[in-house]
A and B are shown apart, each in its own frame.
Chain A
Amino acid sequence: MKNLRIVSLLFLILLVLILPFFFRSNQYGMILLTTILLYGVLATAWNIIGGMAGQLDLAAGAYLGLGAFTTGTLLLRFNLTPWIGIFVGGLVAVLFAILVGLPLFRFKVKEVWYALSSSALVEVLRIAFIMWEKIGGPVERYLPNYGSALYMRFSSYIPYYYIMVILLFASLFVNYWISRSKLGYYLIALGDDEDAAEVLGVNVRSSKLKALVIYAFIVGLTGGVYACIYGFIHPNFFSSPLSTEVAILGIVGGMGITYGPLVGAVLLVSMRELLRANLGGQLESLYLVIYSVVLILIVLFRPRGITTLLQDTFNKLFSRWVRNNHAE
Chain B
Amino acid sequence: MDAVIQLLVNGALMGCIYALITLGLSLIFGVMNIVNFAHGDLVMISMYMAFWMGSYMGLDASLTPLITFPMLFLLGIGIYYALIDRTLRQKYVTQIAVTVGLMTFLRAVAQLAWKAQPRSLPYSLISGNFQIGSATIMTSRLISALVSVLVIVLVALFLSRTWPGRAIRAVSDDLDASSLVGVNQKATYALAFGLGSALTAIAGGMLMTFQQVDPTMGLRFGLLSWCVLALTGLGSISGLLISGIIVGCAEALAMGFWDPRARLLVVYLIFILVLWLRPRGVFGRK
Q: Which residues of A contact B (CB under 8 A)?
A: 56, 103-104, 106-109, 111-113, 115-117, 119-121, 123-124, 127-128, 130-131, 244, 247-248, 251-252, 255, 284-286, 288-289, 291-293, 295-296, 299-300, 303
Residue of B nearest to A300 (CB): B86
Question: Contact: B108 with A292, CB < 8 Å?
Answer: yes
Q: 1/0 per residue B83-127: CB within 8 Å of A?
A: 100110011111011101110110111011000000000000000
Question: Which residues of B are at the interface with A, using a C-beta cutoff of 8 A?
Answer: 29, 35, 83, 86-87, 90-94, 96-98, 100-102, 104-105, 107-109, 111-112, 215, 223, 226-227, 230, 259, 261-262, 264-265, 268-269, 271-272, 275-277, 279
9 A-B residue pairs with CB within 8 Å: A109-B275, A112-B92, A116-B230, A123-B223, A123-B268, A251-B96, A295-B97, A296-B101, A299-B98
Contacting pair B261 A131 (CB below 8 A) = yes
Give the residues in chain A near B94, CB-CB below 8 Å. Answer: 251, 299, 303
User: Once bound together, how far apart are the Cα atoms of A156 and B230, in whole Å?
Assistant: 48
Specify which chain A residues have a CB less than 8 angstroms from the CB of B264 in the assembled complex: 123, 127
Q: Nearest Cβ in chain A — how far from B56, in angstroms?
A: 23
Which residue of A108, A115, A117 contacts B272 across the interface (Cβ within 8 Å)? A117
Contact flag A127-B265 (CB < 8 Å), given A291-B104, A293-B105: yes
Residue A128 contacts which of B98, B265, B271 (CB distance < 8 angstroms)? B265
Q: Within the complex, which residue of B90, B102, B276 is in contact with A292, where a contact is CB–CB below 8 Å? A: B102
Do residues A107 and B275 form an inter-chain contact, with CB atoms below 8 A? yes
How far does the alpha carbon of A180 sit from the alpha carbon of B276 in the complex, in Å?
Answer: 32
Q: In the complex, A117 Cα to B264 Cα: how many Å?
A: 13
Q: Is the CB of A117 within 8 A of B271?
A: yes
B residues less than 8 Å from A107 (CB atoms): 275-277, 279
- B276 in contact with A56 (CB, 8 Å): no
Which residue on chain A has the smallest CB distance to residue B94?
Answer: A303
Is the Cβ of A285 less than 8 Å from the Cβ of B98? no
Residues of B within 8 Å of A303, CB to CB, are 87, 90-91, 94
A104 and B265 CA atoms in complex are apart in Å by 18
Decide: B275 and A288 in contact? CB cutoff 8 A. Answer: no
Minimum CB–CB distance from A276 to chain B (whole Å) comes to 12
Docked Cα-Cα span, A251 to B279, in Å, equals 26
Q: Per a CB cutoff under 8 Å, which of A104, A112, A288, A289 touches B276? A: A104
- Residue contact A284 to B104, C-beta cutoff 8 Å: no
B226 to chain A, nearest CB (A): 5
Provide the bound-state CA to CA distance between A303 and B92, in Å.
11
Q: Report the bound CA distance from A155 to B277 in whole Å.
A: 50
| A113, closest chain B residue (CB) | B275
Cα separation A120 to B227 with both chains bound (whole Å): 9
Q: Contact at A286–B93, with CB atoms within 8 Å? A: no
Contact B272 A251 (CB under 8 A): no
| Contact (Cβ within 8 A) B276 A103 | yes
In the assembled complex, the Cα of A127 lies from the Cα of B105 at a distance in Å of 27
Nearest 4 interchain pairs by C-beta: A288-B108, A292-B105, A292-B104, A296-B101
Cβ contacts under 8 Å, B265 to chain A: 123-124, 127-128, 131
12 A-B pairs besides A288-B104, A299-B98, A299-B101 with CB distance below 8 A are A107-B279, A115-B96, A117-B271, A117-B272, A131-B262, A255-B93, A285-B107, A285-B109, A292-B101, A292-B108, A296-B101, A303-B90
| Across-interface contacts of B101 in A (CB, < 8 A) | 248, 292-293, 295-296, 299
Is A109 a contact partner of B279 (Cβ separation < 8 A)? yes
Q: Separation in Å of the B272 CB from the closest CB of chain A?
A: 5
In chain A, what residue has the closest Cβ to B265? A127
Residue among A103, A111, A116, A117 with the most chain B CB within 10 A?
A: A116
Residues of chain A contacted by B259 (CB below 8 angstroms): 131
Chain A residues contacting B107 (CB-CB under 8 Å) are 285, 288
- Assembly CA distance A296 to B105 (angstroms): 9
Chain B residues within 8 Å of A289, by CB: 105, 108-109, 112
| In the complex, residue of chain A having the shortest beta-carbon distance to the beta carbon of B111 | A285
Chain B residues near A247: list those with CB within 8 A.
96-97
Q: How far is the CB of A99 from chain B (nearest CB, A)?
A: 12
Q: Which residues of A contact B96 (CB under 8 A)?
A: 56, 112, 115, 247, 251
Among A112, A248, A251, A293, max chain B CB count under 10 A is at A112
Question: A127–B275 contact, CB under 8 A?
Answer: no
Determine if A112 and B35 form an interchain contact, defined as CB atoms under 8 angstroms apart. yes
How long is the Cα–Cα vector from A251 to B264 in the complex, in angstroms? 28
| Identity of the chain A residue whose Cβ is nearest the Cβ of B229 in the assembled complex | A116
> Please, which residues of chain B bring their CB within 8 A of the CB of A252?
97
How many whole Å from A191's CB to the nearest CB in chain B?
10
Contact A127 B261 (CB under 8 A): yes
Give the residues in chain B near A123, CB-CB below 8 Å: 223, 264-265, 268
The closest CB in chain A to the CB of B219 belongs to A240
From the candidates A103, A119, A128, A296, name the one contacting B223 in the complex (CB within 8 A): A119
